[in-house]
Structure 1
């Protein structure tokens, strides 16, 4: 072994220790934010689940997060997620798919994902049901993605981040509850960039909570409310979010996509 080779392993180990310390500190800060938001809302900390969004970050970060006690991670691009999940197989993690999902990617996504947060159309429900019946992992938990910027818009209107209009939620819910191997878990949203709720995450999340209450009257078990990210998790928790999806506040600025 050359002197150059001898120096590589300690450097790598040092880098790994530094990254672990960095992630541990960031996680602690996010946990403190969640705890404060829960206390301000009169909610128990246990009422809110942290999902760390690991997109564009390497599998080694996921492994460190698992060592630090994270149990829920999310991805939004199947090609990246599938390889990362395979690399992290055996870790005590639940994988959430939060990106827009094309039907030709459904079978691959269900190879690792326990939750799909972006169900927004009947065709996708049918594809998910078919793939879920064929897989070995049992039923798949589905969340309807609600696009609040589409509220009251003409049916089929384009724009925004994707998702179903609020008035489409109950119809999709009925389709999911009837679909074999699917479980309707609840609702997901992202604070809108346009429409009446643009720049008003507190109002957007309050509206999602209203829709969630109506949904739970029809499907009591659909009690997940996935809302809030690094910039607005406090507003989401105040409005009743049960799951917050946090990326940059834990992992730092994301590397550019290649």
Structure 2
């Protein structure tokens, strides 16, 4: 794991260059290191490199790693698809949830958030490319969901999360991320003070930063190629 620090620094340099090229302040963009399938020791190593914000795609992985690494000051983000029967675990452990696309899930998180913890920070996932294989609220249904979630007292709606259809064409990448930003701006004009755009990964973070990303979710460029996930016992 000796290569994690150079990897993190390379990603930070990439974010900084993309931000400056777009006329943005790099300090307004956070690196969310995604540890999916990697052991807790890899998270600890990345923490030793100064990384403090980590994301997980699987509920049980996040819960286990949070317990193992409880001695570290880590901000935990859940970025996967959240099933209703696992909301209680996430409500108790996570600091952020990125993938909300149903009011029923938001309401469960709101009811189950422990009262001794601050409000759960949340982003709504938008299916910006209309892909049937991906989760996310349709753009036309977003305003109603956003206003309903913003009214829940134990949640704090921060912004939008999206996974545009993958493309190697920078123009296509920019168009997808720009569409998410436009949706966020429309919600702001409608009275919702949203400050977060969770978008961009290892292969397209440059375009995401150019179009306003404030959180980029990077796994492979930080931890290396992922190993297959073993099935749950």
1:90: Cα distance to partner? 2.6
Question: Runs of 5+ in structure 1 lacking a partner?
Answer: 1-18, 151-157
**Which residue number corresponds to residue 210 of structure 1?**
182
The equivalent residue for 1:94 is 75
Q: 2: CA distance between counterparts of 1:249 and 1:56?
A: 14
SS at 2:71's partner residue? coil
Deviation at 1:135, TM superposition (A): 4.5
Query: TM-score under structure 2 normalisation?
Result: 0.93
Would you identify which runs of 4 or more consecutive aligned residues in structure 1 move more than 4 Å? none
CA contact (8 A) 1:49 1:242 kept: yes
Residue 151 (structure 2) aligns with: 178
Tell me how far apart the structure 1 counterparts of residues 190 and 100 of structure 2 sit (CA, whole Å).
Answer: 18
Query: Over residues 102-138 of structure 1, what are the superposed CA-to-partner deviations in whole Å (9 max), with x where a residue is unaligned?
Result: 1110110122211100010111121111112x44212
Change beyond 3 A, Cα 1:219–1:106? farther
SS in 2 for 1:200: helix
Largest Rg, 1 or 2? 1
Contact 1:73–1:93 (Cα < 8 Å) also in 2: yes
Contact 1:78 1:109 in 2 (8 A): yes
The answer to whether the aligner puts 1:143 opposite 2:123 as a matched pair is yes
Give the TM-score, by structure 1 length.
Answer: 0.85
Does the 8 Å CA contact 2:92/2:112 hold for their aligned counterparts?
no
Count of residues in Structure 1 that have an aligned counterpart in Structure 2: 229
In structure 2, the gaps of 5 or more residues are none
Distance in 2 between residues matched to 1:110 and 1:36, nearest whole Å? 36
User: 2:7, 2:50 → 1: CA distance?
Assistant: 13
Would the aligned equivalents of 1:147 and 1:160 in 2 still touch at CA under 8 Å?
no
Equivalent position SS for 1:106: helix
Partner of 1:155: none
Residues 129, 164 of structure 2: 8 Å contact kept: no
Q: Quick check: 1:69 aligned with 2:42?
A: no
Query: Paired residue for 2:141?
Result: 168
1:231 to 203, 208, 223: 203
Q: How far does residue 205 in structure 1 lie from its aligned partner after superposition?
A: 0.1
Calculate the aligned-residue CA RMSD, in Å.
Answer: 1.8
Specify which structure has the higher proportion of helix: 1
